[in-house]
Amino acid sequence: MKKLKNAMKRIVGAVLYKVAMLAILLVSGPAALMAQNTAGDYTAGTNALTTVAEEIAKYVPIMVKLCYAIAGVVAIVGAISVYICLLYTSDAADE
């Protein structure tokens, strides 16, 4: 029984090792395949970053206007809540 137990431990250990190596290969293997160029030419990456920066810059004025609109709504709601608070609070607290 002890021999069988030891044999099973070795088999399971070997299988786990092989599964771990397969997982590492499956994770790291596509990384080399996804690279556009391995010769050290980085023009594709710099072109992509330039394009992304230009596209993000187009959204900046829109986001500024959106922030102004949100700030306006917050200011109006705050002003209304202060007005209601002043309107309905009693002056008896001052006495």
Which tens digits make up the pLDDT trace of 73-91? 999 999 999 999 888 886 6
pTM of the entire predicted model: 0.45
Evaluate if residue 38 carries a pLDDT over 80.
no
Average pLDDT over residues 26-54: 74
User: DSSP strand E in 1-95: where?
Assistant: none
pLDDT at 10 over 90: no
The pLDDT assigned to 42 comes to 73
The predicted pLDDT at position 78 comes to: 94
pLDDT band at 94 (very low <50, low <70, confident <90, very high): low
26 with 20: CB under 8 angstroms?
Answer: no
Which residue's structure tokens are 């599964």?
A: 19
